[in-house]
Chains A and B, each alone.
Chain A
Amino acid sequence: MTGSQPLTIEAPPIVQSHAAPALPRLLAGIPAHGAMHLDEHLAIHGQAPLARGRARGRRGASTLIDQLDRSGLRGRGGAGFPTATKMRAVATARRRAIVVANAAEGEPASLKDRTLLETLPHLVLDGGILAAQAVGADELIVCVCESAGASVDSVARAIKERLPTPDGSPRLHLTTVPEHYVAGQESALVNYLNGGPATPTFTPPMPFEQGVRRRPTLINNAETLAHIALIARQGSQWFRQLGTPTQPGSALVTLSGPVAHPGVYEIEHGASLSSLIDAAGGTTARPRAALLGGYAGTWIGGEFLYGLALSEEHLAPHGASLGAGVVLLLSEDACPVAETTRVAHWLAGQSTGQCGPCVNGLDALATTVQEIAAGAAQAKATQRIDRLASLVRRRGACGHPDGAVNFILSALDVFATDFADHARHGRCDGCMRPAELPLPATPLTAAPTDRRSASEPVSIR
């Protein structure tokens, strides 16, 4: 590993690259083509400690929740909520629960969930079934983005391989969800499974209290369930052998941008960004900056990238986090202002239109960013952006406006000089280059919007 020392943060204690002997774990034996079949899955990982029949009910399965508690596993969907805590909340609810495997993956820069389902569906199904038995659920619903056709087929075949499901085992269902940024949000997913649009709902009640068909619903990211499948077999100590004390275990990340082999990699928490890039065959162009966490995430400037460790405690000083395991590199040749403007507009378009502050605020933010980019900004454009940011935060029904604000503000911070240049001189040559930051290529399926944007109040003076 080469590279200069970072200016402001110390070298991280864990520098193991993903090629450490303990890895891969989730991706062990991943087939070159197609999906791993059930027999191969069992050959590699062994039988899952599933309950046999109804005799072993919640009491026997509570050891799984304790195991997960000791392992320190946190959700891999972006929020990072402790998995055991979530499961306990559902397990102690009165009504019979339902488990949802969330692979809606609306984040354009994330491919890990659909890749996991496409190649290793049985890992996710195992985890889902184990979780179902731990919380007393009789049904597992796997939700896959409808544009991930290969993943959908793979899960369907994997479910067929497991039929008929043994007594005491939950029923297995597969559903596709619309490709929309917010469709994977928990209340939106529940709304969709209940027959409504894939738009967030007002909480409380939270899904773990009242979700699908008003039953307590455990919603876990597909990767989280994959980890559960392995922890149940190998134990919490094994899980903690990798990673950091506060962020144990391994994780899938989607690395994209100017690298030789962009794709999904399994790292241990705390691994250095450099080792990840090395595993991906090195860079094909100098990275200008890295976006961590996706389009609700934070930019980190190029000067900090070498020696940057991928764990919460090392990213927190930058105000960043891995989120759903997204690492997006931006090359030196790209124009960060143009890229930010494009994404800001896209984020505004991804608003479901239910909440006035989000619809109006994100639209105004995107417009203001565009004005700066085109050199047509009004005076005090940055003040307007700050005001809009404070007007938009925490005033929507979901975290989408907050994420968009985070993305835009961090771009304005990290690329301050570029934005200042554009404000003064307008578009640069880089603005004309093809876009680097990935966005869904096809126009969305009928956007799952609920109500229209705000009507203007008419005042008569």
Chain B
Amino acid sequence: MSHSLRVNPITCEAHGMCAELLPERITLDEWGYPVIDDVPLPPALLDHARRAAQACPTFALLVERERG
């Protein structure tokens, strides 16, 4: 079962902690908003991804299970 990252663009306020904690998959655009690399998350990055999601002050970063 693979996981993927998604950002709720409405809740996101460009705090930028996600990019610090998961630079492998998240970079910030010129306005500070996260650009997610669409590649599915390998198990090795899952813990880091979850930590990044918990660090987000607005819970905008979501770690979701891929359907099917």
Task: Establish whether A and B are touching in the complex (CB under 8 Å).
Answer: yes
Residues of A in contact with B (beta carbons under 8 Å apart): 200-202, 354-358, 360, 391, 395-397, 450-451, 454-457
The dominant DSSP class at the A interface is loop
Chain A residue nearest to B16 in the complex (CB): A457
Given known A-B contacts A391-B35, A457-B16, A355 and B29 have beta carbons under 8 A apart: no
Chain A residue numbers with a CB within 8 Å of B11 are 202
* A-B residue pairs in contact (CB < 8 Å), sample of 25: A202-B10, A354-B9, A354-B10, A355-B10, A356-B9, A356-B12, A356-B31, A356-B33, A357-B9, A357-B31, A358-B9, A360-B30, A360-B33, A391-B35, A395-B33, A397-B10, A450-B10, A454-B14, A454-B31, A454-B32, A454-B33, A455-B14, A457-B14, A457-B15, A457-B32
Q: Once bound together, how far apart are the Cα atoms of A202 and B62, in whole Å?
A: 12
Chain A residue numbers with a CB within 8 Å of B30 are 360, 391
Chain A residue numbers with a CB within 8 Å of B29 are 357, 391
Q: Once bound together, how far apart are the Cα atoms of A151 and B33, in whole Å?
A: 42
Report whether B12 and A355 are in contact in the complex, using a CB–CB cutoff of 8 Å: yes
Report whether B8 and A356 are in contact in the complex, using a CB–CB cutoff of 8 Å: no
Report whether B35 and A355 are in contact in the complex, using a CB–CB cutoff of 8 Å: no
Chain B residue numbers with a CB within 8 Å of A450 are 10
Chain A residue numbers with a CB within 8 Å of B31 are 356-357, 360, 454, 456
Q: Once bound together, how far apart are the Cα atoms of A309 and B31, in whole Å?
A: 42
Chain B residue numbers with a CB within 8 Å of A357 are 9, 29, 31, 33
B21 to chain A, nearest CB (A): 16
Q: Once bound together, how far apart are the Cα atoms of A454 and B10, in whole Å?
A: 11
Given known A-B contacts A356-B14, A455-B14, A457-B16, A396 and B9 have beta carbons under 8 A apart: yes
A185 to chain B, nearest CB (A): 13
Q: Once bound together, how far apart are the Cα atoms of A457 and B10, in whole Å?
A: 18
Q: Considering residues B7, B10, B30, B33, which has the most beta carbons from chain A within 10 angstroms of its beta carbon?
A: B10
B57 to chain A, nearest CB (A): 13
A171 to chain B, nearest CB (A): 32
Report whether B9 and A397 are in contact in the complex, using a CB–CB cutoff of 8 Å: yes
Q: Once bound together, how far apart are the Cα atoms of A321 and B33, in whole Å?
A: 31
Could you say which interface size class chain B belongs to? 10 to 19
Chain A residue numbers with a CB within 8 Å of B16 are 457
Q: Once bound together, how far apart are the Cα atoms of A194 and B29, in whole Å?
A: 34
Q: Once bound together, how far apart are the Cα atoms of A12 and B58, in whole Å?
A: 53
Question: With A202-B11, A355-B10, A455-B13 given, can you name 18 additional A-B contacts, CB distance below 8 Å?
Answer: A201-B10, A354-B9, A354-B10, A356-B12, A356-B32, A356-B33, A357-B9, A357-B29, A360-B33, A391-B30, A391-B35, A395-B35, A396-B9, A397-B10, A451-B10, A454-B33, A455-B14, A456-B32
B16 to chain A, nearest CB (A): 6
Chain A residue nearest to B32 in the complex (CB): A457
B35 to chain A, nearest CB (A): 7
Q: Once bound together, how far apart are the Cα atoms of A454 and B14, in whole Å?
A: 7
Interface residues of B in 1-47 (CB under 8 A from A): 7-16, 29-33, 35
Q: Once bound together, how far apart are the Cα atoms of A354 and B60, in whole Å?
A: 13
Q: Once bound together, how far apart are the Cα atoms of A200 and B14, in whole Å?
A: 19
B67 to chain A, nearest CB (A): 11
B25 to chain A, nearest CB (A): 15
Q: Once bound together, how far apart are the Cα atoms of A224 and B32, in whole Å?
A: 41
Q: Once bound together, how far apart are the Cα atoms of A124 and B15, in whole Å?
A: 47
Q: Once bound together, how far apart are the Cα atoms of A77 and B13, in whole Å?
A: 31
B59 to chain A, nearest CB (A): 11
B24 to chain A, nearest CB (A): 19
Query: Across chains A and B, which 8 residue pairs bring their CB atoms closest together, nearest first?
Result: A355-B9, A356-B33, A360-B31, A354-B10, A457-B32, A202-B8, A397-B10, A454-B31
Chain A residue numbers with a CB within 8 Å of B13 are 356, 454-455
Q: Once bound together, how far apart are the Cα atoms of A397 and B7, in whole Å?
A: 10
Q: Once bound together, how far apart are the Cα atoms of A149 and B14, in whole Å?
A: 41
Q: Once bound together, how far apart are the Cα atoms of A356 and B16, in whole Å?
A: 12
Chain A residue numbers with a CB within 8 Å of B15 are 457
B48 to chain A, nearest CB (A): 21
A248 to chain B, nearest CB (A): 32
B32 to chain A, nearest CB (A): 5
Chain B residue numbers with a CB within 8 Å of A397 are 8-10
Q: Once bound together, how far apart are the Cα atoms of A448 and B4, in whole Å?
A: 32
Chain B residue numbers with a CB within 8 Å of A396 are 9
Q: Once bound together, how far apart are the Cα atoms of A354 and B32, in whole Å?
A: 15
B8 to chain A, nearest CB (A): 5
Report whether A395 and B10 are in contact in the complex, using a CB–CB cutoff of 8 Å: no
Chain A residue numbers with a CB within 8 Å of B32 are 356, 454, 456-457
B33 to chain A, nearest CB (A): 4
